[in-house]
Structure 1
């Protein structure tokens, strides 16, 4: 298109961002593609549109350019606001090129201005939409969350020579965590609680100082793209939707992405509660705060991995891709309704070429602009294989060591398929095999039970990375297996054990959480045994925040919220921006023995390559008779020689004969680390629900 013939039409318009007039239902229909065709036929035709033009809002050659891709819209306009609260904006006509890119250019820099696109479809009212490529976002905190993009200056930040933390995947010890939860509790001792800045304040009880003390070398942030903090009213119908399940009316974890290129603005606000009916993020401060956070972690040698959600879009919002072009960007049935295998109201059509491009460019943007070291993909199996392959291929051009792991489920289950493509995947097999699937009737190995098809051979296969060379193995390489016992989903490992040992009932009200969190001797042994198996197995090691002190998630009792489960243990705390989720560092002191055990295991794994780099042939299992829940093996790697024995039988003390020589005890049922506890020879006993690690002297 010849831009010189564009005539820009400027119109003053009154727009109200707090009312329903801005937004309509998401029943968008195709206009450009022939309507008599089926949905699948129309989508196939729309896939022929493709453009390499830079999209979004950006400054270049003295002008600020705006571009949006939508093949089915009849008209698109740009609206610019001087202030975030402005209801009056200037509208600029946009022109569609031959590849369905709508564009206009304005003279000069417009940094600090706010903008939206007004998208019109045939027989539909215009909808004010957020730019899907917005680099910063201001959000009005109310139901359906109206948003405005912010035009920002890019490539200005002083990284002080910072580069990616480039680690061999086998060496990763990942700490899965939520930005706000790590410092929002008063016990964290930080000034800027619940924020990116607070997370990296120096010499505090919580946040980065605590993470350094623990010793992990990577953090995995729960979703930190701009997301929907607010869901829909509880038991009050609004725009045809009725919420009967979430009395908190909140989304705390972040798995409802609103903007793929912008950091979550709530984490730049030092506030105890979200401020309803007010604008959040209008200063675009989150852009710099996020970069400062990454730089601070990198200075401590800690990699930053982002949990990202590219399989669906925020469900309870209007004015996003659903209204920009529902038919192009989403998987639909032949009635034009959303397919929602994600369970989140919609599934993105990642196989659409321009959506694939958006996803890839989002990943690369976070790598280049924010120095992100890796990514964990939510419900990875909902993305098509071509997109999965393109992402890792393009990302490795920039950083060959970039980390890609995923949940290998959602629309199927295929960890082996991800491994074949060089991706890592969460290994739910080791999780269920060692811990169990649920604490009521699905206990695993550490309890002296077999869950599902687990048996002694499967337990051995987990030690070596759950490789395809073993029966029911999943992975081509050990470093494709993300070994874990706890994540944000489900019960914490500590609570799983409390419930499994019947120390508490599922529906029991707990009022004194400080007393409840303290572990009994049996609970302590079970926590330690699970941790010992995890940290001595090949693969990527991941723990969830608080696992190291058997964190509990008791639902806050003294809340003015109509939650029938207050005071009980939670297994799905996605909606709770309260002490249910906040890390209470007093509890780390209460269970300091377990915290110290984790720090010792982390130190052991980091110091000795055998637990990270040993090959399949370097591990020799010893036969154990009459105790299927005991496991014993030697691992030799270069000049390192270890003897590892674990006994998950809750009744039997297991006797193990040792190979010749003197052996230093580095781990027993009380302590762990790299300093010898004592020296033994010939034989050793391992108590029920315990384990040991010996090093050849």
Structure 2
């Protein structure tokens, strides 16, 4: 039967009796080069036919297990930009049967039924979380390390058990697609300097091999990632992938640029525009660049059953591409979670009106990191300018604005969010100083650092919008004061699980607050009109104390955040129930005044 190549998508389409290859290129001539394995220098070459700048080839026979590249005009050798499988260190693409990567019941397993406005996002890096020997994890630094049960440091749970015990319901995995800034050779697994966050894309559709127990086996990394995803889903935890479609690690010599010079990247005066700060930026407006992004997102969603995506430097992706992505992804999964950074990493030629940011695409069910709220809470990123929790009380209105979902609440508390559920509320991410190191710039007393870290968490957890925090915040993880640990060693980045024991009371307060938010979630998922009608700020008489009430369904929740160095007394609350104070189980107040200790929060319920 003759193959209709026009009906076949780009990349490799594998069948038992044939393999079809399609790639976009503006060059005059392409060949397919075929290798029997990933080490050999012996190969066969096949000429490709071209139609409308799409080169294609159908090879009859079963070529599973072979490796391939494209030869451009007999000068350049590149991998397939659509590679679903790759060799160690992304040297060659691989011909594989993706159906063989489905572990038992993977297609049948149930994804967690959690409303997307009820998620609590926990950002983690595979290696950070599993690398330390004191994690008790056998498969250190690997996907499989997060599938292990009963891992402990002394008698304290670690790994997946820690996540279940903590109570989060959504994990944001930092890049797990194929990136080029670490050596995937398994002999380098425990080299402390063989480390990177992974914002250095090479193959958008392939899985990073350094997180596999066998980087030489192209199937292994896919199977092991699917085991992780299934295990998380079974634990009631959604999985979000961090995606970096705004740039590639290579520029002139990238497979994209060699296949189609000056097509995939934006240019400024004949040179690469550098809005990413990484040397280039993807020209997402161009048809095949946009298609690559949309096809890639759809592939990850369908093949790996992930629950959503976090877009790095989302401001560099044109708004039409983002809105098309939302449409395609929501058609497959109406509950898909989408959010990103609404900024760029430098000057860009992309028109401001075409950026995917708060001004241009608000109200489309795509979330945005709320950096204004972040800075009001803790202060500027890496300098010693204080935030509200460390004594800059003139920021009180900005904190209250964030608590109200950063909408236009009133003349004193106004933000630019149309939909409060699009606000990703956070005080730190993987970028810049982690909260413990940041607070040490302003505060010298370690006990106060502990208290203000908890206060920051309490603020985002009792705000309208989606809370987001970083692995290890719950037990005051530090990074040795490193402001940008993207390529620092594991000595800096790996989580020290002894901190869970050292700061166990700190951890328990995070855990209790998570339990509280889940129990009273209806109070924190209001829409814009409900916020204005039902959330009221009260005058505390002190700029360092925030008090607000939320009325809903004949119940009233009163929340107090005290950032002062002395206690605050909440009055006229006899017979109310304290439902969170960080210490006790819920209890009825049998007196008229309630003490809110310094740097602490209290939540009181009246029914």
TM-score by length of 2: 0.90
Q: CA RMSD in A?
A: 2.4
Offset at 1:383? 0.4
Distance 1:472 1:324 in 2: 48
Flag the 1:667–1:94 CA change in 2: closer, same or farther, 3 A: same
Select between 483-492 and 460-469 the one with higher mean Cα deviation. 460-469
8 Å contact from structure 1 (residues 309, 378) kept in 2: yes
Match of 1:466 among 390, 406, 409: 406
8 Å contact from structure 1 (residues 315, 344) kept in 2: no
Structure 1 equivalent of residue 197 of structure 2: 253
Q: Are residues 1:633 and 2:548 paired?
A: yes
Distance 1:249 1:96 in 2: 44
Structure 2 equivalent of residue 653 of structure 1: 567
Offset at 1:165? 3.1
Distance 1:371 1:178 in 2: 19
Larger radius of gyration: 1
Offset at 1:681? 4.2
Offset at 1:680? 4.4
Offset at 1:250? 5.7
Offset at 1:281? 4.0
Q: Are residues 1:219 and 2:176 paired?
A: no
Flag the 1:547–1:73 CA change in 2: closer, same or farther, 3 A: same
Render the CA deviation track for 1:321-341: whole Å, top value 9, x for unaligned.
Answer: 121213111111232x21111
Match of 2:577 among 648, 655, 664: 664
Distance 2:483 2:588 in 1: 41
Q: Are residues 1:531 and 2:471 paired?
A: no
Q: Are residues 1:434 and 2:369 paired?
A: no
Render the CA deviation track for 1:370-395: whole Å, top value 9, x for unaligned.
Answer: 00100000000000011010000111
Offset at 1:469? 4.7
Structure 2 equivalent of residue 478 of structure 1: 420
Structure 2 equivalent of residue 560 of structure 1: none
Offset at 1:163? 3.6
Offset at 1:249? 7.9
Distance 2:588 2:555 in 1: 18
Distance 1:456 1:523 in 2: 19
Render the CA deviation track for 1:42-79: whole Å, top value 9, x for unaligned.
Answer: xxxxxxxxx77411111248321011001x21111101
Structure 2 equivalent of residue 19 of structure 1: none
Structure 2 equivalent of residue 292 of structure 1: 227
| Unaligned 5+ runs, structure 1 | 7-50, 141-145, 232-247, 271-279, 504-519, 555-568
8 Å contact from structure 2 (residues 382, 483) kept in 1: no
Greater helix fraction, Structure 1 or Structure 2? 2
What SS class does the counterpart of residue 433 from structure 2 fall into?
coil
Structure 2 equivalent of residue 600 of structure 1: 512
8 Å contact from structure 1 (residues 408, 418) kept in 2: no
Flag the 1:596–1:3 CA change in 2: closer, same or farther, 3 A: closer
8 Å contact from structure 1 (residues 418, 424) kept in 2: no
Distance 1:129 1:489 in 2: 32
| Unaligned 5+ runs, structure 2 | 153-157, 184-191
Match of 1:64 among 10, 16, 19: 19
| Aligned length in residues | 576
Offset at 1:577? 4.0
Q: Are residues 1:192 and 2:139 paired?
A: yes
What SS class does the counterpart of residue 140 from structure 2 fall into?
coil
Structure 2 equivalent of residue 694 of structure 1: 604
Flag the 1:52–1:313 CA change in 2: closer, same or farther, 3 A: farther
Q: Are residues 1:423 and 2:366 paired?
A: yes
Distance 1:468 1:286 in 2: 47
8 Å contact from structure 1 (residues 265, 284) kept in 2: no
Offset at 1:640? 3.9
Question: 1:269-668 maps to which residues of 2 (within 5 A)?
Answer: 269=213, 280-315=215-250, 318-335=253-270, 337-410=271-344, 411=348, 414-438=357-381, 440-449=383-392, 455-470=395-410, 471-502=413-444, 520-554=446-480, 569-614=481-526, 615-616=530-531, 617-625=533-541, 627-650=542-565, 652-659=566-573, 661-668=574-581
8 Å contact from structure 1 (residues 439, 500) kept in 2: no
